[in-house]
Chains A and B, each alone.
Chain A
Amino acid sequence: MIEAHGLVKRYGSTMAVDDLSFFIRPGLVTGFLGPNGAGKTTTMRMILGLDAPTQGSVTVGGRSYRDLPAPMREVGALLDAKALHGGRRARDHLLCLARSNGIPRSRVDEVLRIVGLEGVARHRAKGFSLGMGQRLGIASALLGDPAVLIFDEPVNGLDPDGICWVRTLMRALAAEGRTVLVSSHLMSEMALTADHLLVIGKGRLIADASAEEFVRSSSRQSVHVRTPQAAELAARCRQAGAGVRAGTSSDVIEITGMDSAAVGRLAAAHGVVLSELIPVKASLEEAFMELTRDSVEYQAAGAPR
């Protein structure tokens, strides 16, 4: 498990991470979400002892990372797939890391097999594609067979096949009771992988909830209705306190603040004929956009929303 208390990181006048507290449980894939520049990588660097927090503390398994007796046996991390010496062969790269924590040589071949790189074990890393680099990074995270895994944007540069593989791997690791923290700026990816979400924007915690709760709490749930008596139903709904927006055509309206059963009852009570009645759940992606709209650091001018 990973535990942070009042974590703050300031670079000059920029607040990269602002009073972040969280508890990441074992047995789940926790998605760490936020727009670019939200402070995800900085937080991970503080967990891994690369950056010292300006204030606050973070522990892994109850201990600060620098105090772990054999870090790779407890925490596996992939921060940046290109963080290696390109002139070194893949197998040697892993061997250097394994040696530093007293991990046997046989485990190097084992993780190469797990990530499917055994065929290029003797190739120098500079010839690797981004996807192969990600696999090598994942292999190094798995070397120590750790109880806690931290991945920063692990699907970057992977093809659909690779993305599916990473997703399966994350879920399998969590199912074995490990703590898995995965960052991403892509909500759609997290929707398929994460059980729990930690959302940050501009360094602050925005949400800490299960993926399901996260969508439910979004205000963007609506009911899509197609009816020849659109104007009449719209008026009735407004009277009942719901919000109504015009739909894609004149016989379609979108109703918010009222669930589909209530809309159906209202229509029946006033003899309104319905040809379509569809509850529309906000996607995780939309919920995310809504939540982080105010905390996107670099927004295009004249953005539509």
Chain B
Amino acid sequence: MTGATIARTGPDHRAAYRPATFGDVLRSEWTKLRSVRSTFWALTVTVVLGIGLGAVISAAAAHGYAKSSVSGKLSWDPTAVSLDGIGIATLAIAVLGVLAISSEYSSGMIRTSLIAVPKRGRILAAKSLVFAMVTFVVGEVTSFTAFFAGQALISGHAPHAALGDPGVARAVVGAGLALTALAVLSVAAGTLLRHPAAAIAAMIAVLFVLPGIAQALPDSWRNPVTEFWPTQAGGQLASVHHAAHTLQPWPGFGVMCLFVAIVYAIAWTLLDRRDA
């Protein structure tokens, strides 16, 4: 160990380097995401649940179709049925998104990260963008596979859908898009709440618990809640059949995106102002 091995260019090297860019931070966040094992497992769970559960639900629903009521047959949506598994798989994405930043708080890595990139907005933007892109790819692969597998299981037992039917391609792509919006929401929630357990609990509440409670409310309360609840509104993008008291697909997704934008803006502001 001599001094000579420490210095590459000596301390007077300021002209030798370029400023760090947003692209650098993106590459850093990509390296972070791919270098922990939880990423691989959460994405595997997403794909397996999304496709496997979708197949099980499709097969079961197709067999029940013949015995279902007229109204049941009228609202039969083979596309939405085949994409149902993704609704459960969202949980894995939500947990992974929350952990992407809250695990940095629980381990202390956030301080190391913020010393490396003191422009804090960049970290949040890069983390969200990388995770959103990964989720989009995984989400689309899952929804297309689940769709084709589901339709293969449904055909012969009940009317099935084809990608060229009206609204079907939008619903299949939409399932991946809704998952991507949720990915950004969970990174923002993790930033906001900082504690992994608290942020995961909050995501479960938003995704499953609060909509579940709404079901127990009287109609006059329940209908507007289910119509405008962000995650449910966003989910309309993945259905072909339009049920009563739900928003149209794109306005519904718009509500979800607006909600994500608000949470994201709060997270951004707090990250910038709080002592790390």
Which A residues form the contact surface with B (CB < 8 A)?
Answer: 26, 45, 48-52, 65-66, 68-75, 77, 79-80, 82-89, 92-93, 95-97, 99-102, 107, 110, 113-114, 140, 142, 144-147, 165, 168-169, 172-173, 175-178
Q: Judging by beta carbons under 8 Å apart, are B3 and A172 in contact?
A: yes
| A84 CB contact (under 8 Å) in B11, B28, B112 | B112
Task: Apart from A68-B118, A71-B117, A80-B111, list 17 A-B contacts with CB within 8 A.
Answer: A50-B114, A70-B17, A71-B115, A71-B118, A79-B115, A84-B109, A85-B104, A85-B107, A87-B37, A87-B38, A97-B116, A100-B20, A100-B25, A147-B13, A168-B1, A172-B6, A176-B3
Give the distance in Å from the alpha carbon of A176 to the alpha carbon of B10 in the complex: 7
Q: Judging by beta carbons under 8 Å apart, are B6 and A114 in contact?
A: yes
Say whether B18 faces chain A, with CB atoms less than 8 Å apart: yes
Given known contacts A100-B20, A100-B28, A101-B24, A145 and B13 CB-to-CB distance under 8 angstroms: yes
Q: Judging by beta carbons under 8 Å apart, are B111 and A147 in contact?
A: no
Q: Which of A80, A83, A110, A147 has the most CB of B within 10 A?
A: A83
Say whether B73 faces chain A, with CB atoms less than 8 Å apart: no
How big is the B interface, by class?
A: 35 or more
> Quick one: which of B7-36 are within 8 Å of A by CB?
7-14, 17-21, 24-25, 27-28, 31-32, 35-36
Which B residues form the contact surface with A (CB < 8 A)?
Answer: 1-3, 5-14, 17-21, 24-25, 27-28, 31-32, 35-38, 103-104, 107-119, 273, 275-276
Given known contacts A50-B111, A52-B275, A102-B21, A165 and B1 CB-to-CB distance under 8 angstroms: yes
List residues of chain A with CB within 8 A of the CB of B32.
85, 88, 96
List residues of chain A with CB within 8 A of the CB of B115.
48-50, 71-72, 75, 77, 79
| Chain B residue with the shortest CB-CB distance to A116 | B1
Give the distance in Å from the alpha carbon of A145 to the alpha carbon of B273 in the complex: 29
List residues of chain A with CB within 8 A of the CB of B117.
71, 100-101
Q: Judging by beta carbons under 8 Å apart, are A172 and B9 in contact?
A: no
Between-chain CB contacts (< 8 Å), 8 pairs: A51-B275, A70-B18, A71-B115, A75-B115, A85-B32, A102-B17, A147-B11, A176-B6
Q: Which 7 A-B pairs have the closest CB atoms?
A: A69-B19, A83-B108, A100-B28, A92-B35, A172-B3, A99-B28, A147-B11
Q: Judging by beta carbons under 8 Å apart, are A99 and B112 in contact?
A: no
Q: Judging by beta carbons under 8 Å apart, are B36 and A83 in contact?
A: no
List residues of chain B with CB within 8 A of the CB of A145.
7-9, 13
Q: Judging by beta carbons under 8 Å apart, are B20 and A114 in contact?
A: no
| Shortest beta-carbon distance from B112 to chain A in Å | 5
Q: Judging by beta carbons under 8 Å apart, are A172 and B38 in contact?
A: no
List residues of chain A with CB within 8 A of the CB of B18.
70, 102
